[in-house]
């Protein structure tokens, strides 16, 4: 069993990942799915930061990867919001289950 300090961060990351999975599969609207995906990505980022603080030889590697995760999260948010807007224009709904075909 790992030491107490790193264990808190790892358990928190697992919680964020699980909450994200739960929210993503519930699938009530595009924006809520995006929020859930952000939680999953932050769980990964927290893991990177915790391991880079406690076990890595070079602590900046984990920070660099967390920065990359933040960049990808911002990219993904921009895309999902515009897809949501586009789907709302075409289908007049925010429910992903009602958007059945990929024609835009």
Residues in 46-65 at the binding interface with another protein, rule: CB under 8 A: 46, 49-50, 52-56, 59-61, 63-64
Phi then psi for residue 93, to 5 deg, are -150, 155
- Count CB atoms within 10 A of the CB of residue 41: 19
Selected binder of another protein within 86, 100, 101, 102 (CB under 8 A): 86
**Is residue 91 near another protein by the rule CB under 8 A?**
no
Q: How far is the CB of 100 from another protein (least distance, A)?
A: 14
Residues 6+ apart with CB under 8 A from 82: none
- Integer Cα distance of 17 and 21 in angstroms: 6
**Is residue 89 near another protein by the rule CB under 8 A?**
yes
**Is residue 99 near another protein by the rule CB under 8 A?**
no
């Amino acid at each position: 069993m790992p030491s107490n300090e790193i264990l808190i961060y790892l358990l928190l990351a697992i919680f964020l990942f699980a909450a994200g999975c739960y929210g993503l599969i519930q699938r009530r609207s595009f924006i809520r799915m995006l929020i859930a995906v952000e939680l999953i990505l932050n769980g990964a980022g927290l893991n990177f930061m915790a391991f880079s603080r406690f076990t890595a030889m070079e602590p900046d590697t984990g920070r660099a990867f967390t920065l990359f995760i933040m960049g990808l999260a911002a990219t993904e948010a921009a895309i999902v919001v515009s897809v949501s807007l586009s789907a709302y224009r075409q289908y007049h709904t925010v429910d992903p289950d009602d958007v059945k075909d990929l024609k835009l």
